[in-house]
Chains A and B, each alone.
Chain A
Amino acid sequence: MLACLCTVLWHLPAVPALNRTGDPGPGPSIQKTYDLTRYLEHQLRSLAGTYLNYLGPPFNEPDFNPPRLGAETLPRATVDLEVWRSLNDRLRLTQNYEAYSHLLCYLRGLNRQAATAELRRSLAHFCTSLQGLLGSIAGVMAALGYPLPQPLPGTEPTWTPGPAHSDFLQKMDDFWLLKELQTWLWRSAKDFNRLKKKMQPPAAAVTLHLEAHGF
């Protein structure tokens, strides 16, 4: 028995799960990404209030829930719970990355048409933060060894205030853009929280590894 224990101790430095002196792994970057989504949630709450007031009633009314008429191109954040649970890490991260890429593009269009300087400043600040989130997601994907999604030719998001698109529908699009952005940030927080927990090796895993190596 003593000999067994000595053998286990002798092999301990060789156990990969306990060797924490090297690369910390994707854990810290996931945590940072999670923190950034929470920060953007907070920032968007203030920005959305200002922007919806800028659009005027009924868009700034709390119970306004218009039909999604012209906002079909916006990436939808809402997804069936079972579907969401069944997503693997790569798909989960890919969806996040693609969604924010689109949302950032639309948001920049929003910034261009904003009339007041103060609003433009707030939108520009938020776009910068969102760009940071996008980079952060890309970092996590790289750390996990996942390739970044390549946009298909012709599907690149563009913001063009088409002449057929009435100003009222444009306001509806703006409303939905902010709403989707809010939902995406909420979903991302859950995504990254889940990913964070998943990437933290539980203590029991060490035991399993020991068993696997020692015996």
Chain B
Amino acid sequence: MRSMVDDARIPKPGFWSNWSSWEEADAQNMLGHDPLFVFPKDKLVEEGSNVTICYVSRIHQDNISCYLEGVQIYGEQLDRSVSAFELKNVSFIREKGTNVFCKVDQGGVLGGIVLFVSKVLEEPKDFSCETQDLKTLTCTWDPGSDTGLTKQPSQSYTLFESFSGKKTLCKHRNWCDWQVAQDSQETFNFTLLAENYLRKRSVSILFNLTQRVHPMTPYNLLPKNVGATKATMTWKVHSIGNNSTLLCQLELLAEGKVIQQSNVSIKVNGEYLLSELEPDTEYVARVRCAYTNHFWKWSELISQKFNTAEAAPSEAPDVWRNLKLVSGHPTVSLFWKPLSKVHANGKILFYNVIVENLDKPSRFEVLSIPAPASSTELTLDQCSYQIHVTAHNSVGPSPASVIVVSGDPGNEEVEKGRVNGTEDGFSVSWKPQSGDATGYVVEWCDGPQDLPCVLQWKNLGPNTTSTVIRSGAFRPGVRYNFRIYGISTRRMAHLLEKKAGYLEELAPSDNPQVVMSKLTSRSFTLSWKDYSTESQPGFIQGYHVYLKPKAGEQCHPAFEKTVLPEDSVCCKYTIDNPEQKTFVVENLQPESVYEFIVTPYTSVGEGPLDAFTKVTTLDEYSHTLIHIILPMIFCILIVMIICYLKSQWLKEKCYPDSPNPYKSSVLSLIKSKENPHLTIMYVNDCVPDAIEVINKPEGSKIQFLGTRKSPTETEFTKPAYLYLLPTEKNYSGPGPCICFENFTYNQAASDFASCGHFPVTPQAPRHQLGPLTSPENLLKALEQNYMNSLGEIPAGEANLNYVSQLASPTSGDKDSLPTNPPEPALCSEYKMQTAIPLGLASAPPSENSSLSSTTLLGQGEHCR
């Protein structure tokens, strides 16, 4: 053991004493009866120290493990019951100490210690002392880390003043008050001593009291006599000693920025007049003070807000106009921009618009438009008007803004040009107006063309010929139109130029609606006349016509071969005139399918190539065929008309109503054969010798008609034979029912229900009834029938059933109805007859035979 004096009052360096003599101790005997001891008990060390831990066991077992914070540590076994562990560079873990314990494995024996590792005590930093009133010194410092543990309290601080020899134990970690004695001590030499159980640290300062004056914060800072441009600020300070002077700094802030700064020397009360203030503006005044004799520190700031009073607006509103015709009347829309805060000098309450007729100076009109309106509309006549616009706040009006308008909109046909857009905006330039321009105005609409125009304008001086138009509303791909006006000395605006431009041109997003016309076998015409080049996202420079040729076909020389994005080959034709909105695609193959698309292009690119339209060229000969077919149709129509007009003649010629053998062409045929055995039987020469009268009951007849049963199925009375001459009376008037029937006809034939008379040909073979459609067949049939009737048929059979019908009062033409037709159902029933062998006639007609009879009737009607 050795020792050394360590006291702040004793100058360093100290000296160590000599080592004491060794003392021996019997650890085993000194310990109690516990089986396991761990040393050192509750040791306090600084961070970075090396600590040796050892245990002494009475158990003499090898299965003792030691742990540092739960992690096993390995040491050196000194003998059977003692082991030592060296911990190097220990660090602070917690205030409650670092746990080291040893235990006998599975023995339930445990011993341990807590090693308290303290942080190293730091030297106080930034130690300084100051006074606010020359009576109390306040010393402050940065204490650094807290070295407090449960085994060791936090470090303490002691303030020692060497001149007075006084010291005080500080109650706080980082500051301490020191009372200045009444004996007017001016110089102080302070030593701050920090100490804990392990270490002491000190720091000293030497200063003059008056050089460490930090005044207290001023108070009662108030505005006084606040006007539109002036205000007086007053404040107070705490006095320091007797007749001490303070330097105060007054700052004026507007919108967070210092705009004025003034220094004022005061004793207790401060006052300062702030001038050059803006009307109706919020300001912040703040004051801080310092000791004048020796500047040490500014006091804390005190702030105060105040508002200046309103003043009349200082600037005329920026006014612009837009002339248009509404219902034939010139109408001027007046626009004005709200005055900036700097110029409004208060809240604008309303705008006065005075309209003065220049042609009739005595007449003027005053309109008062409440704020925040920024436009109005006036309907004028053809006179010139001078319009004064003033903005009013609670104090008064602004200077007037004067503009002259005329009912005549003036020359609208001016030079048109383009303007380039950049990231900054549109750089617009114009030719200076020769003469008396007092300024220029550039006018534009902020929104796209299809939106309502938000009129914007920019006033420019008379010597300006270019400007950059900036707006946050400008968007790429939107056409903006700028109109440049010159303002004359009469304050009248004249349109000078028109400019159009894009902030950034884009490729067209849509293709025109193309109409295809004049399609031939080798060409077709494309047209897109409705396409507006004005409302596109860029200046349209022309159009590309893409044509997909049929496989293997080459592009026409006028076309350029190109590959589409989907790798298909296409022919492209470029139209470099944006106003050319038609195109004829020629030199095509007939009857071929082509696909085309028309897309506009700008400087950036072309429209989408997504929707090709298919077209198929015509057949080459269809054109010729039309030329042939049309005349043929015309000729046929002529023939049909002629036939219709000559139908009576034809009828008489080909199929007269009453077959007259003398008129019939058959006669000529017969004559041509010059058969002496053939002759014509004249009905007039025939004397009917018998009339077959069938007394047919009414009921059976009705039943027959109604059910359409075969005549053979109907029972009828036996026919009666009357010798009767045919007279007209037999057919007129209602009388007893007389029916001339030939049962070889079916009901369909009898549906005529009129007692017509048909020539009765001799027996016609059943197989000859159908094919009589052609004239040849008809002639053959007739010839054969007559031949059969005159030559082959026995006379008895022929005569027996023949009934002359020439005395019929009606004609066979159903279109020419008799004026007094017999009552068909009530009076008599006539069945068409033909000369059919009896045997055949008596046979019941089948369904087919009935159909054949109908066909025959048709043929008979048209071809006799």
Contact = CB atoms under 8 A, between A and B. Distances in A.
B99 A115 contact: no
B42 A167 contact: yes
B114 A61 contact: no
Contacts of A167: 41-42, 97, 113-114, 116, 150-151
Contacts of B99: 55-59, 168, 171
B110 A57 contact: no
Contacts of A168: 38, 41-42, 99, 101, 111-114
Q: Which 10 A-B pairs have the closest CB atoms?
A: A57-B70, A167-B114, A168-B112, A115-B95, A167-B42, A57-B69, A166-B41, A56-B99, A168-B114, A58-B70
Interface in A108-138: 113, 115-116
Given A56-B96, A59-B99, A115-B96, A166 B113 contact: yes
A59 B98 CA distance: 12
A75 to B, nearest CB: 22
Nearest to B98: A56
A125 to B, nearest CB: 20
B94 A58 contact: no
Interface in B270-320: none
B109 interface: yes
B471 to A, nearest CB: 58
B841 interface: no
A24 interface: no
A171 B150 contact: no
Given A57-B70, A57-B99, A166 B94 contact: no
B96 A166 contact: no
Interface in B79-110: 93-99, 101, 108-110
A66 B150 contact: no
B207 interface: no
Interface string A45-76: 00000000011111101000011010000000
B85 to A, nearest CB: 15
B67 interface: yes
A57 B101 CA distance: 10
Given A66-B110, A167-B151, A56 B94 contact: yes
A61 B70 contact: yes
A61 to B, nearest CB: 6
A13 to B, nearest CB: 65
A54 B94 CA distance: 8
Most chain A CB atoms below 10 A, which of B67, B96, B111: B96
A54 B112 contact: no
Interface residues of B, number: 27
A56 B151 contact: no
6 contacts: A59-B99, A66-B110, A167-B41, A167-B42, A168-B114, A171-B96
Contacts of A166: 41-42, 113-114
Nearest to B93: A56
Contacts of B113: 166-168
B574 to A, nearest CB: 81
A57 B72 CA distance: 12
B110 A113 contact: no
Interface string B470-493: 000000000000000000000000
A116 B96 CA distance: 10
Given A167-B97, A168-B101, A67 B114 contact: no
Interface in B664-681: none
Interface string B37-51: 010011000000000
A57 B71 CA distance: 9
A67 B101 CA distance: 13
B95 A58 contact: no
Interface string B45-87: 0000000000000000000000101110000000000000000
Q: What does DSSP make chain A's interface, helix, strand, loop or mixed?
A: loop
Contacts of A54: 94, 96
Nearest to A61: B70
A167 B110 CA distance: 14
Interface in B652-694: none
A157 B99 CA distance: 28
Interface string B140-168: 00000000111100000000000000000
A172 to B, nearest CB: 8
Contacts of A66: 110
B96 A55 contact: yes
A55 B116 CA distance: 12
Contacts of A56: 69, 93-94, 96-99
A168 B42 CA distance: 8
Contacts of B109: 67
Contacts of A59: 99
A174 to B, nearest CB: 10
A138 B149 CA distance: 39
Contacts of B93: 56
Nearest to A167: B114
Interface in A16-62: 54-59, 61
A56 to B, nearest CB: 5
Given A66-B110, A166-B41, A171-B114, A58 B101 contact: yes
A16 to B, nearest CB: 56
Contacts of A55: 96, 99
A111 B113 CA distance: 22
Interface string B385-413: 00000000000000000000000000000
B837 to A, nearest CB: 124
A166 B116 CA distance: 12
A59 B70 CA distance: 9
Contacts of B150: 113, 115, 167
Contacts of A58: 67, 70, 99, 101
B110 A67 contact: yes
Contacts of B114: 166-168, 171
A56 B70 CA distance: 9
Most chain A CB atoms below 10 A, which of B69, B71, B110: B110
Interface in B114-159: 114, 116, 148-151
A54 B111 CA distance: 19
B712 to A, nearest CB: 111
Contacts of B101: 58, 168
Interface string B804-827: 000000000000000000000000
Interface in B555-582: none
A132 to B, nearest CB: 28
A163 to B, nearest CB: 10
Nearest to B150: A115
Interface in B635-651: none
A37 to B, nearest CB: 29
A147 B698 CA distance: 139
Interface in A55-101: 55-59, 61, 66-67, 69
Interface in A152-183: 166-168, 171
A113 B110 CA distance: 24
Contacts of B110: 66-67, 69
Given A57-B71, A167-B151, A168-B113, 16 more contacts: A54-B94, A56-B97, A57-B69, A57-B99, A58-B101, A61-B70, A67-B108, A115-B149, A166-B41, A167-B41, A167-B42, A167-B116, A167-B150, A168-B112, A171-B96, A171-B99
Nearest to A113: B150
B69 to A, nearest CB: 5
Contacts of A115: 95-96, 148-150
A55 B93 CA distance: 11
B606 to A, nearest CB: 71
Contacts of B70: 57-58, 61
Nearest to B149: A115
A54 B109 CA distance: 24
Nearest to B114: A167
A58 B66 CA distance: 11
A113 B95 CA distance: 11
A66 B107 CA distance: 11
